[in-house]
Amino acid sequence: MSSTVLITGAKGLIGVPLVNLLLSRGKTIHTLSRTPTNKNSSIKEFGWDTENGYLDERSLEGVEAIIHLAGENIGEKPWTIKRKQQIISSRTKSLQLLSGAIRSTTGANIKTLVSSSAVGYYGDRADEILTEDSPAGTGFLAETCVEWEQAADRAATEDLRLVKLRTGVVLATGGGALPKIAGPIKAGFGTVLGTGKQWMPWIHIDDVVHAYAHALEHDQVKGAYNLSSPQPVTNQVFTHEVAKVLKKNIWLPHVPELALRIALGEMKAIVLSSNRTDSAKLQQSGFDFRFSHLQDALLDLYG
């Protein structure tokens, strides 16, 4: 069990609650940031610059494990050629930088690397049940995840345990996809996207952070894992469940797939791709989901 952990992306949607969870378990936390402030006395914050290849090697002192969450937001800006390059390089260059530091830092004794990935690895697969042995799909999301995971593979050494968590749609009220879906529903303009038959591999934020801790603390956890609820649902079911919990009605017709293609271009893959992921491998490693059913997760988040 690692006592000192280095976390990248510690200020993000997953990073903030994960840091708090690990601190509550007695871990010493180091973080990497482009603008370190060290305002939080509970953690040690260090600087790095992935574009210019800089990493403060003091960040690795005493560290036994790294959790890598950093990467540009997939859906924040349109997918221009330049933007797609930024999305991929933010993931691969950061891992290259970590890999070099692990190998070159005197006295570094990193035993575990837990790297985030995403269910986008599988591409758009309709109703196919997707396990970790399923081949990668096609399209930009799949391409990004493949390069992301390959960079993690290259960072690993014979003495370093590597875990890759292919994360689904993270449900949290403080960011991510859920507020963007719930907002229009609250305003009375919620609707199903496309046919509504595309599978959404959702997961409650609490299960996400506990899964990262599980991967960190259990040496038998190795390789790729689907990080999503045992009960994925379709977009139609998801939309109506959110409306039910919010006590709102869905009265608008589906947004046609053609309209989404015109409005979003290639980014349509974010909302139209179907990923029916199977999380049995993670459960078999000893992980217990707190929220296996969507309604329970939504009721917890919205009270």
Listed in sequence order, the residues at least 6 apart from 20 whose beta carbon sits closer than 8 Å to its beta carbon are: none
Residue 1, pLDDT > 60, answer no
Long-range contacts of 280-283 (CB under 8 A, 24+ apart): 280/131, 280/230, 281/131, 281/132, 281/225, 281/226, 282/211, 282/225, 282/226, 282/227, 283/230
Mean pLDDT for the stretch of residues 33-42: 79
Mean pLDDT of the chain: 92
164 membership: H or E segment, kind and range: strand 161-167
Residue 143, pLDDT > 80, answer yes
Q: Please provide the distance, in angstroms rounded to a whole number, between the alpha carbons at the two ends of the chain.
A: 35
**Could you read off the pLDDT of 148-174 as tens digits, one per residue?**
999 999 988 778 999 999 999 999 999
Sign of CA dihedral 63, 68, 69, 72: positive
Report the CATH number that the domain containing residue 73 is assigned in CATH: 3.40.50.720
At residue 262, the pLDDT reads: 67
Q: Give this prediction's pTM.
A: 0.94
Residue 289, pLDDT > 70, answer yes
Give residue 2's pLDDT band: very low, low, confident or very high (50, 70, 90): low
**Could you read off the pLDDT of 219-231 as tens digits, one per residue?**
999 999 999 999 9
Render the burial of 99-126: b for 16+ CB within 10 Å, e for the rest. Answer: bebbeebeeeebebbbbbbbbbbbbbbe
At residue 220, the pLDDT reads: 95
DSSP state for residue 68 in the 8-state scheme: E
Mean pLDDT for the stretch of residues 248-267: 79
Residue 228 DSSP SS3: coil
**Could you read off the pLDDT of 81-117 as tens digits, one per residue?**
999 999 999 999 999 999 998 888 776 789 999 999 9
Burial category of 243 from C-beta neighbours within 10 Å (exposed 0-12, middle 13-18, buried 19 and up): buried
Q: How far is CA 43 from CA 13, 38, 197, 300, in A?
A: 17, 7, 44, 29
CA distance 240 to 252: 12
Q: How far is CA 179 from CA 3, 169, 184, 202, in A?
A: 35, 12, 9, 14
- Torsion of Cα atoms, 102 then 287 then 170 then 269, to 10°: 80
CA distance 148 to 73: 14
At residue 297, the pLDDT reads: 98
Listed in sequence order, the residues at least 6 apart from 119 whose beta carbon sits closer than 8 Å to its beta carbon are: 130, 166, 167, 168, 201, 226, 228, 275, 277
Number of folded domains that form the chain: 1
Range of the domain at 38: 4-302
Q: Which tokens go with 47?
A: 């600087």
Residue 34, pLDDT > 60, answer yes
